[in-house]
Structures are given as structure tokens and as C-alpha cells.
Amino acid sequence: MRVSETFVKPISHYVNVSKIIESIQKLSPENLLMYLSNHDILVWKVSTDLFIAFDHESKHKNLYRVSAVSIPLNEENLLKLSLEKIYGVKLYTERDLRNILRGLIIHKEYVHALGFVIPCESEVKVMDKNKRVVGSVDLACGNFIIEIKSSFALKQEHIYQLLIYMDVLNKPYGFLVYYDKIFKFSLDKEQDKLLEAYNRLRKIYDKVSSLAENISHYENYILKRFNIKIGELMKKLDSLGLG
């Protein structure tokens, strides 16, 4: 392990997560949107608990979002991804937006602390048209990248996401950083998993494309999450000139 890598620590070593969560919960919806805009995430309120956002990933709706490889593959998530693919936006509840801001601030504080000992760049935008992927890497530091996860347990899907980013950025090493644990990976040793990762991503988007062709048949599935039916949501998005 290189000396610089010894400074890669769990989130709790550098960041007071509880304080960040408490501060974000106190934000008004208006201030929440303002802080997100400071991170280049432009958000509009569409209905009572539905917001649409544009960012680096949504601008390239014909590419595969690397982050999609780690989502739970239930029908609700796939339908949401299908709508986002059709309209070139992202769909969020207010709770989703607070979680996003929490992640962004944790990343910012982590990289700020790490920056005293190793040079790192945060929220690195990536796009590879040949591999048909687009995404945003949490931290790029020398010959390795870091993905920060708010969960406590290592997940196979998180490894897939990390490996794709390592491959696209041509970084030989990568770290998954959790609240109290870290895991290191070498791209040379994980070629089989890298292949699995790309296969999983393609299968997800095959399902997404199939759902997108028949999206109007799933009228009630988004109702539970966004308190709006798909048909009504599609009318609102169409009225905004999206799609």
C-alpha cells in the first residue's frame, strides 16, 4: 500500500455525520434547493412531493448511468429509471433531495480533510460513449478512486459501481468507504467482477428500455413513492417540453 493510501479512512474518522444530518433536516425546502444548485443540481418542484432535476447524468439520457448498477432491482425503481430515460430528468421526493445534499456535504468535508495530506478531486464527471456509460465519481486521488457509501455493509453492487469507474478512469485501485469500514480493490484482480458489472448494467437498461416502451400501462406504480400517477406525471413533464 502506498503511503498516500494509508490516509484513506472510514467516514467517521473525518466527518461528523450526525451534525450534517441535523443541519440538513432544519433547512427549508427553498434553502434545500438553493444549496443543491450550488452543487450544479438544478431542481424544480412539479407537485406536492415531486421534484425534477437536471445534472450531468440526466443530460446524457441515451447512456447508462453507472450508479444504476447498484440500485435495488424492484419494479418501482426500474419504472422511475424508465421515466428518467424518456424525459432526460431525474425524479426526486424532498426526502431524496435531503439525502443527496447529505451525501454531497459528506463528500465535501471528507475531501477537504483528506486534501491536507493527499490531493483529491471530488464529484469527478465521467462519460465514455464507447462503453455507453456516464456518471460522477466521488473522489479521484492519484492512482485510485474513492466511492463513499452511507450504508454500513459492503454490497456486491457497490463493488460493481466502483470497478466500472476504475475502468473508465483507468485507475488501478479503488476504495469503498463506509461509516466505520474501508475496502480496497485492484482492477487487475477483479476482471471477472468487472465483466459481471457491465453485464448487470446492460441487463438493467434492457429492462428499462422494455418498460419505457410500455410505460403508460403502469399507471399506479409511482403513486406510492411520489404521490402521483404515472399518467398525470407524464402530462406534467410533457407540458414542460421534456421528452
Which of 4-8, 38-42, 139-143 has the lowest average pLDDT? 4-8
Mean pLDDT of the chain: 87
Does residue 3 surpass a pLDDT of 70?
Answer: no
Which DSSP string do the residues of 37-82 spell out, in sequence order?
HTTT-EEEEEETTEEEEE-TTGGGTTSEEGGGGGS---HHHHHHHH
Domains of the chain as residue ranges with CATH: 3-239 (3.90.320.10)
Tally of CB atoms within 10 A around 35: 16
Digit-coded pLDDT (tens) for 158-203: 999 999 999 999 999 999 999 999 999 999 999 999 999 999 999 9
Find the mean pLDDT for residues 216-225: 73
